[in-house]
Amino acid sequence: MKVTIVDYSSGNISSVINSFKEVAQNKATIEVTSDLSKIKSSDKIVLPGQGSFKSCVDALKKINGLNDTLNEFVIANKKPLLGICVGLQMFADVGYEETETKGLGWISGKVSKIDNQNGKFKLPHIGWNQINILKDSRIFKEVENNSHMYFVHSYEFLPKDNKVISAITDYSTKVVCSVEKENIFGTQFHPEKSDKNGLKIISNFINL
Protein backbone atom coordinates (compact mmCIF):
# COMPACT_ATOMS: atom_id res chain seq x y z
CA MET A 1 0.00 0.00 0.00
CA LYS A 2 1.23 3.46 -0.87
CA VAL A 3 0.55 6.53 1.27
CA THR A 4 1.58 9.82 -0.30
CA ILE A 5 2.31 12.99 1.64
CA VAL A 6 1.65 15.88 -0.74
CA ASP A 7 4.66 18.18 -0.82
CA TYR A 8 3.52 21.58 -2.09
CA SER A 9 6.02 23.74 -0.15
CA SER A 10 3.63 24.56 2.70
CA GLY A 11 6.26 24.86 5.41
CA ASN A 12 8.35 22.29 7.26
CA ILE A 13 6.68 18.88 7.03
CA SER A 14 9.63 16.80 8.26
CA SER A 15 7.85 15.80 11.50
CA VAL A 16 4.84 14.60 9.45
CA ILE A 17 7.13 12.54 7.21
CA ASN A 18 9.08 11.07 10.15
CA SER A 19 5.94 10.11 12.09
CA PHE A 20 4.32 8.39 9.12
CA LYS A 21 7.53 6.49 8.36
CA GLU A 22 7.86 5.46 12.01
CA VAL A 23 4.30 4.14 12.12
CA ALA A 24 4.19 2.59 8.63
CA GLN A 25 7.37 0.48 8.88
CA ASN A 26 6.50 -2.52 6.70
CA LYS A 27 2.74 -1.89 6.50
CA ALA A 28 2.92 0.84 3.86
CA THR A 29 5.29 2.74 1.61
CA ILE A 30 5.45 6.44 2.45
CA GLU A 31 6.17 8.73 -0.48
CA VAL A 32 6.63 12.50 -0.33
CA THR A 33 5.96 14.13 -3.68
CA SER A 34 4.15 16.72 -5.77
CA ASP A 35 4.26 14.42 -8.84
CA LEU A 36 0.67 14.16 -10.08
CA SER A 37 0.99 10.63 -11.50
CA LYS A 38 2.42 9.36 -8.19
CA ILE A 39 -0.38 11.07 -6.26
CA LYS A 40 -3.01 9.52 -8.58
CA SER A 41 -1.60 6.03 -8.08
CA SER A 42 -1.58 6.29 -4.27
CA ASP A 43 -3.96 4.40 -2.01
CA LYS A 44 -4.15 7.24 0.52
CA ILE A 45 -3.08 10.87 0.67
CA VAL A 46 -1.94 13.14 3.50
CA LEU A 47 -2.41 16.87 2.96
CA PRO A 48 -0.35 18.80 5.53
CA GLY A 49 -0.57 22.58 5.88
CA GLN A 50 1.37 25.20 7.78
CA GLY A 51 1.08 28.96 7.58
CA SER A 52 -1.99 30.87 6.50
CA PHE A 53 -5.06 29.56 4.65
CA LYS A 54 -4.27 31.85 1.71
CA SER A 55 -0.58 30.88 1.48
CA CYS A 56 -1.47 27.16 1.45
CA VAL A 57 -4.22 27.58 -1.18
CA ASP A 58 -1.83 29.66 -3.32
CA ALA A 59 0.92 27.04 -2.96
CA LEU A 60 -1.47 24.28 -4.13
CA LYS A 61 -2.46 26.37 -7.15
CA LYS A 62 1.18 26.93 -8.11
CA ILE A 63 1.54 23.25 -8.99
CA ASN A 64 -0.25 22.93 -12.30
CA GLY A 65 -3.05 20.34 -12.16
CA LEU A 66 -2.66 19.52 -8.45
CA ASN A 67 -6.11 20.78 -7.42
CA ASP A 68 -7.78 18.73 -10.18
CA THR A 69 -5.76 15.66 -9.20
CA LEU A 70 -6.79 16.03 -5.54
CA ASN A 71 -10.45 16.51 -6.53
CA GLU A 72 -10.35 13.39 -8.67
CA PHE A 73 -8.69 11.37 -5.88
CA VAL A 74 -11.06 12.51 -3.14
CA ILE A 75 -14.40 13.32 -4.80
CA ALA A 76 -14.48 11.08 -7.90
CA ASN A 77 -12.48 8.07 -6.69
CA LYS A 78 -13.44 8.34 -3.00
CA LYS A 79 -9.98 7.38 -1.75
CA PRO A 80 -8.99 8.29 1.83
CA LEU A 81 -7.35 11.64 2.51
CA LEU A 82 -6.13 13.07 5.83
CA GLY A 83 -5.78 16.84 6.13
CA ILE A 84 -3.63 18.19 8.96
CA CYS A 85 -3.98 21.72 10.41
CA VAL A 86 -4.42 24.08 7.42
CA GLY A 87 -4.72 20.89 5.35
CA LEU A 88 -8.05 20.38 7.13
CA GLN A 89 -9.06 24.04 6.89
CA MET A 90 -8.72 23.97 3.10
CA PHE A 91 -11.62 21.48 2.93
CA ALA A 92 -13.88 24.54 3.47
CA ASP A 93 -15.60 26.64 0.80
CA VAL A 94 -13.89 29.82 1.95
CA GLY A 95 -11.31 31.12 4.41
CA TYR A 96 -10.93 34.63 5.84
CA GLU A 97 -7.25 34.66 6.87
CA GLU A 98 -5.38 37.61 5.28
CA THR A 99 -8.14 38.01 2.68
CA GLU A 100 -11.24 36.10 1.53
CA THR A 101 -9.89 33.01 -0.24
CA LYS A 102 -11.72 30.16 -1.91
CA GLY A 103 -11.01 26.72 -0.44
CA LEU A 104 -11.32 23.24 -1.96
CA GLY A 105 -15.04 23.05 -1.15
CA TRP A 106 -15.03 19.38 -0.10
CA ILE A 107 -16.89 20.03 3.17
CA SER A 108 -19.20 23.01 3.13
CA GLY A 109 -18.23 25.69 5.63
CA LYS A 110 -15.85 28.54 6.36
CA VAL A 111 -12.60 29.22 8.20
CA SER A 112 -12.67 32.21 10.59
CA LYS A 113 -10.49 33.61 13.35
CA ILE A 114 -11.07 32.06 16.77
CA ASP A 115 -13.09 34.37 19.00
CA ASN A 116 -10.50 35.12 21.68
CA GLN A 117 -13.06 37.09 23.75
CA ASN A 118 -11.27 40.46 23.51
CA GLY A 119 -7.84 39.05 24.27
CA LYS A 120 -8.87 36.75 27.13
CA PHE A 121 -7.46 33.83 25.14
CA LYS A 122 -4.05 34.05 23.47
CA LEU A 123 -3.79 33.64 19.73
CA PRO A 124 -2.31 31.66 18.18
CA HIS A 125 -3.62 28.83 20.34
CA ILE A 126 -0.40 26.89 20.96
CA GLY A 127 0.03 23.81 23.11
CA TRP A 128 -1.70 20.75 24.47
CA ASN A 129 -5.48 20.62 24.75
CA GLN A 130 -7.96 17.89 25.54
CA ILE A 131 -10.19 16.72 22.73
CA ASN A 132 -13.80 15.65 23.17
CA ILE A 133 -14.55 12.85 20.71
CA LEU A 134 -18.13 13.26 19.49
CA LYS A 135 -18.53 10.34 17.14
CA ASP A 136 -17.14 6.91 16.49
CA SER A 137 -14.55 8.08 13.97
CA ARG A 138 -12.36 5.39 12.47
CA ILE A 139 -9.22 7.44 13.08
CA PHE A 140 -9.97 7.56 16.83
CA LYS A 141 -10.06 3.79 17.25
CA GLU A 142 -8.43 2.96 20.62
CA VAL A 143 -7.80 6.67 21.36
CA GLU A 144 -9.34 7.59 24.71
CA ASN A 145 -11.77 10.47 24.92
CA ASN A 146 -10.27 13.60 26.54
CA SER A 147 -6.79 12.69 25.29
CA HIS A 148 -4.43 15.63 24.88
CA MET A 149 -3.36 16.73 21.39
CA TYR A 150 -0.95 19.43 20.24
CA PHE A 151 -2.34 22.57 18.56
CA VAL A 152 -0.88 25.60 16.76
CA HIS A 153 -3.57 27.79 15.13
CA SER A 154 -5.48 31.08 15.23
CA TYR A 155 -8.28 30.10 12.83
CA GLU A 156 -10.98 27.46 13.06
CA PHE A 157 -13.09 25.50 10.57
CA LEU A 158 -16.84 26.06 10.96
CA PRO A 159 -18.66 23.40 8.91
CA LYS A 160 -22.27 23.98 7.86
CA ASP A 161 -23.25 20.43 8.81
CA ASN A 162 -22.34 19.55 12.41
CA LYS A 163 -22.60 15.84 11.56
CA VAL A 164 -19.11 15.93 10.02
CA ILE A 165 -17.53 17.01 13.34
CA SER A 166 -15.77 14.09 15.01
CA ALA A 167 -14.07 15.98 17.86
CA ILE A 168 -14.01 19.40 19.48
CA THR A 169 -11.71 21.14 21.94
CA ASP A 170 -12.49 23.90 24.44
CA TYR A 171 -10.50 27.04 23.70
CA SER A 172 -12.53 30.20 24.15
CA THR A 173 -15.41 28.37 22.44
CA LYS A 174 -15.96 24.79 21.31
CA VAL A 175 -13.44 24.64 18.46
CA VAL A 176 -13.79 21.94 15.81
CA CYS A 177 -10.61 19.89 15.94
CA SER A 178 -11.47 16.88 13.81
CA VAL A 179 -13.84 16.09 10.94
CA GLU A 180 -14.86 12.98 9.04
CA LYS A 181 -17.01 12.81 5.93
CA GLU A 182 -16.99 9.49 4.08
CA ASN A 183 -13.38 9.14 2.85
CA ILE A 184 -12.28 12.62 4.01
CA PHE A 185 -10.59 12.98 7.41
CA GLY A 186 -9.03 16.04 8.98
CA THR A 187 -7.43 17.12 12.26
CA GLN A 188 -6.86 20.70 13.36
CA PHE A 189 -4.30 19.46 15.88
CA HIS A 190 -0.97 17.97 14.79
CA PRO A 191 -1.04 14.18 15.25
CA GLU A 192 2.66 14.07 14.32
CA LYS A 193 3.42 16.22 17.39
CA SER A 194 0.87 14.60 19.72
CA ASP A 195 2.97 11.76 21.16
CA LYS A 196 1.50 8.23 21.40
CA ASN A 197 -2.11 9.29 20.79
CA GLY A 198 -1.12 11.15 17.65
CA LEU A 199 0.85 8.17 16.37
CA LYS A 200 -2.22 5.99 17.02
CA ILE A 201 -4.31 8.29 14.83
CA ILE A 202 -1.68 8.07 12.08
CA SER A 203 -1.68 4.29 12.45
CA ASN A 204 -5.49 4.17 12.24
CA PHE A 205 -5.42 6.21 9.03
CA ILE A 206 -2.76 3.97 7.46
CA ASN A 207 -4.81 0.89 8.47
CA LEU A 208 -8.16 2.14 7.12
Active site residues: 85, 190, 192
Share of the chain above pLDDT 70, in %: 100
**pLDDT tier at 62, thresholds 50, 70, 90:** very high
Domain boundaries, given as residue ranges, for the chain: 2-206
pTM for the model: 0.96
Which residue has better confidence, 172 or 88?
Answer: 88
Estimate to the nearest angstrom the gap between the alpha carbon of 56 and the chain centroid: 12
In this structure, what is the dihedral angle of CA atoms 44, 47, 48, 50, given to the nearest 10 degrees? 180
pLDDT of residue 74: 98
d(C-alpha 49, C-alpha 56), whole Å: 6
Q: What is the pLDDT of residues 132-166, one digit of tens each?
A: 999 989 999 999 999 999 999 999 999 999 999 99
Q: In the CATH scheme, what is the code of domain 2-206?
A: 3.40.50.880
Residue 173, pLDDT > 90, answer no
